Structure 1
């Protein structure tokens, strides 16, 4: 839920509840120094990098297999892996 959804809530009671939850979340984040969110962001970036490397390695392996019967396909696979 983003800030626009919270501020555009039609019911005053639900708007107050959303504001209270958001304020609590902001205070909790500030009290912890933001370390939870930062750790999750780093973890998601790290897993993306690992999966990207694995994907590139797989494309290079496919290119090596295709080199004998289709050099053009091998070149395309290498090009995709290097993007």
Structure 2
């Protein structure tokens, strides 16, 4: 997976999708600890989203509440985080 390289504070506010445009189970990138990390949306409100994410390259996860500027949509599949599709 290729992580985004943009600094969240350098994003054009007009280009930041509102937090409530995301839905539970959406794949996202979250900006934490100075880097973008793979995450999955758990819940959203107009102001923030709760996201489960991988805080490092290990198998564990973290949960945090983020505002939209710290989130980006993610297309890549993270095999340790994303659910396996049912056949």
Does the TM-score normalized on the shorter chain lie above 0.5? no
Structure with max Cα Rg: 1
Q: Which has the higher helix share?
A: 1
Q: Say which structure is richer in strand.
A: 2
